């Protein structure tokens, strides 16, 4: 499989990994849109959120939980942060391996784009 996130998760490509456990890896986005922009990626390859199966529910919950815990750890919970899944090309998904964006450290407007 030629997936850049699979290669990062498997440490075939070097990345600035800031979080890791048996199910997930978190690393700094190479094109950040805010002072804090971290991607939380499951080790299991799932190309889009549309393809999450019932057996993946716990994994998706863990993505959200760990992103929230990391936001709290670095103090973003005081000022606020955004968690985002982009699903499909029109939504801005550039890498087809699901990932949760943790974005914060600046004032964000709505709608986002």
Q: Is 97 a catalytic residue?
A: no
Residue among 93, 46, 103 at smallest CA distance from 70: 103
Element of type H or E holding 26 = strand 24-28
Active-site pick, 37, 97, 99, 101: 99
> Residue 74 and residue 52: Cα distance in Å, rounded?
29
Residues taking part in catalysis: 99
């Amino acid at each position: 499989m030629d997936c850049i996130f699979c290669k990062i998760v498997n440490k075939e490509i070097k990345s600035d990994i800031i979080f890791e456990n048996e199910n997930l890896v978190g690393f700094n986005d190479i094109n950040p849109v805010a002072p804090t922009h971290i991607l939380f990626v499951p080790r299991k390859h799932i190309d889009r959120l549309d393809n999450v199966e019932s057996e993946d529910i716990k994994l998706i919950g863990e993505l959200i939980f760990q992103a929230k815990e990391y936001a709290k750890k670095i103090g973003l919970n005081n000022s606020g942060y955004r968690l985002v899944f982009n699903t499909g090309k029109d939504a801005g998904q550039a890498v087809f391996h699901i990932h949760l964006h943790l974005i914060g450290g600046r004032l964000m407007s709505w709608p986002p784009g």
